[in-house]
Amino acid sequence: MSTVVESVDVAVPVRTAYNQWTMFEQFPQFMEGVTEVRQLDDTHLHWVVDVAGVHREFDAEVTEQHPDERVAWTSTDGPRHAGVVTFHRLDDNHTRVTAQMELDPDGFVEQVGAKTGMLDMRVKGDMKRFREFIESRGQETGAWRGDVDRPMP
Question: Does this model's pTM top 0.75?
Answer: yes
**Topology (CATH level 3) of domain 2-23+62-140:** Alpha-D-Glucose-1,6-Bisphosphate; Chain A, domain 4 (3.30.530)
Query: Tell me: the pLDDT tens digits for 83-128?
Result: 999 999 999 999 999 999 998 766 545 555 555 567 788 899 999 9
What is the band of 81 on the pLDDT scale with cuts at 50, 70, 90? Answer: confident
C-alpha–C-alpha distance, residues 51 and 79, integer Å: 14
> pLDDT tens across 13-57, in order?
999 999 999 999 999 999 998 999 999 999 999 999 887 788 889
pLDDT beyond 90 at 133: yes
DSSP strand E in 1-80: where? 2-10, 34-39, 44-51, 54-66, 70-75
